[in-house]
Amino acid sequence: MIIRLILSRMVLAVLTLLAVSVFIFWTAEILPGDIAARVLGREATEESKQAFRDRLRLDRPLHERYWLWLKGAVQGDFGVSLVDQSQERQVADSIKPRLKNTAILGVYAFALYVPVTIFLASISALYRDRLPDGVISLVNLVGLAMPEFVIGTVLIYGFAVKWSLLPVLSQIQRAETLKEILNSTTLPAVTLTIVMSVYSIRLLRDSLIEVLESEYIRMAILKGLPRYRVILFHALPNAAAPALNTMALNLAYLIGGVVVVEQVFAFQGLGSLLVQSVFVRDAPTIEAVALLVSTVYIAANLFADVMSIVLNPRLRTG
């Protein structure tokens, strides 16, 4: 029963990912105009254009090219970047270092986000409608109204300009020691944390309150259990599933936020690569980054799904 359920979720995730890849490939490849002419310039000879088309297999039908692209992508080969034809730069090569940087940033931000969110949401739920809840809600609302680029800019203004604690621009590509890495990622990570927390504290607070108002919590209290037991053994396990889902959903904000935040701090990551590629309309790079990012997102949602199945005794024991 449970294995079946998990398996079907996995199949569904793979199907979704396939559909995503089709969509990504299709949007990136319908870029209007003759790609060869655009990349090689108007002066290029007909032969060189033809050679370019042959190399990129542009004359083949779309579904065939999709299939070849997908086959490559699974093996980590995303083709050749359209930019700077003289160098024949592999997309995978330009992605790798940036993937690492973004991963560091993402993990750092997530590591900050989870405890902050759980802590603030719990306080808010436990002190419902009282002062701490009011303060948190108010701060939350203000945070909700601030886009990443504003928060980032304000943080730069405070920490980098006024107090000179951290650098204005992130130099992650040159950072080597842990201190340097922290130095260059803290501000972007904090920005991301704020943005994500703002979206999930409210959700988590509401689902916690729902659990706290449930009859089994009331029963646990009226059994004479100490408060810590009520919260630790009765409230938290039952609030875990919604919390996990909230956090997985927030990965979408994390990834979206990364694009903007990297731009704010001139951070050399996947997000800024994507923005640059869209500017120069480098289809293979766009495709690769979009696919990578979507895979992470879908995988995270799958993980949350499976975890909430495993955590639910109703499903676990059939």
Partner 1 sequence: MNPLLEVENLTVDFWNQNRWVNVVSHVSFKVMPGEAMGLVGESGCGKTTTAYTLLGYRRPNSRIDKNAEVCFDGQNILKLPGSALRRIRGKRIALVPQNPTTTLSPGMRVGRQINEVLAAHGVSGGERQERVLDLLAHVRLPDPLKTAQKYPHQLSGGQQQRVIIAMALACRPDLLVLDEPTTGLDVTTQAQILELLMHLRQEQGMAMVYVTHDLSVVATICDRVGVMYAGELVEEAPTGELFRNPRHPYTRGLIASVPSVRVPRQRRRILLRGYLQRDQLPPGCRFAPRCLFAHESCFSDKQNLVTAAENHQVACWRWSEVPQLATEIVEELPQPEIVSAPKGAPLLQVDDLNCAYEYHRASLFANPVAKLVVRDVSFDIRPSETFALVGESGSGKSTIARTIAGLLRPPSGKVTFDDQAIAGKVGARTQDLRRDIQLVLQNPDASLNPRQPVLQIIGRPLEIFFHLRGKELRNRVEQLLDDVRLDKTYVRRYPGELSGGERQRVAIARALAANPKLMLCDEILSALDVSVQASILELLRALQAERQIAYLFISHDLAVVRSLAHRVGVLYLGELCEYGQVEEVYSPPFHPYTHMLLSAVPEVNTESRLVPTVRSDAAEGTGSRKTACPFANRCPWKVGKICEDVPPPLQQVSETHALHCHIPLEELRQRETWSKSTLQTAKS
Partner 2 sequence: MVISWLRRLPPTLIIGMMILAFYLTVAITARYWAPYTHNKIGVGIPFSKPSNDHYFGTDQLGRDVFSRVVLGADDVLILAISSTLVATVIGGLVGLLSGLVGGWFDQLLMRAFDALIGIPFLVLALLIIAAAGSELSGDTRLLIMVVAVVYAPRTARIARAVAIDLVTRDFVTVARARGESVFSIVWRELTPNAIGALLVEFGVRAGYAPIFIGSLSFLGFGVRPPTPEWGLMIAENRAAIFVVPMVVFAPAGALAGLVIGLNLFTDGLARWIGRSQGAASG
**Stretch of 5-13, 36-44, 260-268, 277-285 contacting partner 1, by CB under 8 A:** 5-13
CA distance linking residue 59 with residue 277, whole number of Å:
23
**Stretch of 49-57, 170-178, 228-236, 286-294 contacting partner 2, by CB under 8 A:** 286-294
Nearer to partner 1, 182 or 307 (CB): 307
CA distance linking residue 312 with residue 189, whole number of Å:
33
- How big is the CA angle at 12 (ends 7 and 18), to the nearest 5 degrees? 130
Record the tokens describing residue 177, joined without a space.
């020691």
> Which of partner 2, partner 1, none interacts with 289 (beta carbon under 5 to 8 A by kind)?
partner 2
Contact between 18 and partner 1 per CB under 8 A = no
**Amino acid type, 255:** I
Among 118, 201, 209, 289, binds partner 2 (CB under 8 A): 289
CA distance linking residue 210 with residue 194, whole number of Å:
24
Contact between 141 and partner 2 per CB under 8 A = yes
CA distance linking residue 211 with residue 237, whole number of Å:
10
Q: Could you give the 3-state DSSP secondary structure of residue 33?
A: coil
Nearer to partner 2, 15 or 111 (CB): 15
Q: Which residues pair with 80 in a beta bridge?
A: 90
**Stretch of 138-146, 161-169, 175-183, 210-218 contacting partner 1, by CB under 8 A:** 210-218
- Interface of this chain with partner 1, residues 50 to 89, rule: CB under 8 A: none
Q: Is 175 exposed, middle or buried (CB count within 10 Å of its CB: 0-12, 13-18, 19+)?
A: middle
How many other CB atoms are there within 10 angstroms of residue 58's CB atom? Answer: 15
Torsion angles phi and psi, residue 164, rounded to 5: 50, 40
Record the tokens describing residue 87, joined without a space.
């160098």
Contact between 103 and partner 2 per CB under 8 A = no
Torsion angles phi and psi, residue 170, rounded to 5: -80, 130
Contact between 310 and partner 1 per CB under 8 A = no
Contact between 163 and partner 2 per CB under 8 A = no
Contact between 23 and partner 2 per CB under 8 A = yes
CA distance linking residue 212 with residue 127, whole number of Å:
11
Nearer to partner 1, 294 or 312 (CB): 312
Nearer to partner 2, 97 or 256 (CB): 256
Q: Could you give the 3-state DSSP secondary structure of residue 136?
A: helix
Contact between 135 and partner 2 per CB under 8 A = no
Nearest one of 302, 311, 310 to 10, comparing CA atoms: 302
Among 45, 86, 87, 317, binds partner 1 (CB under 8 A): 317
Per DSSP, 32 falls in state S
Among 32, 33, 61, 313, binds partner 1 (CB under 8 A): 313
Contact between 248 and partner 2 per CB under 8 A = no
Q: Which residues bind partner 1 (CB under 8 A)?
A: 4-5, 7-8, 11-12, 128-129, 214-216, 218-227, 229, 233-234, 237-238, 311-314, 317
Contact set with partner 2 (CB under 8 A): 12, 15-17, 19-20, 22-24, 27-28, 30-33, 141-142, 144-150, 153, 156-157, 161, 251-252, 255-257, 259-260, 263, 274-275, 277-279, 281, 283, 286, 289-290, 293-294, 297-298, 301
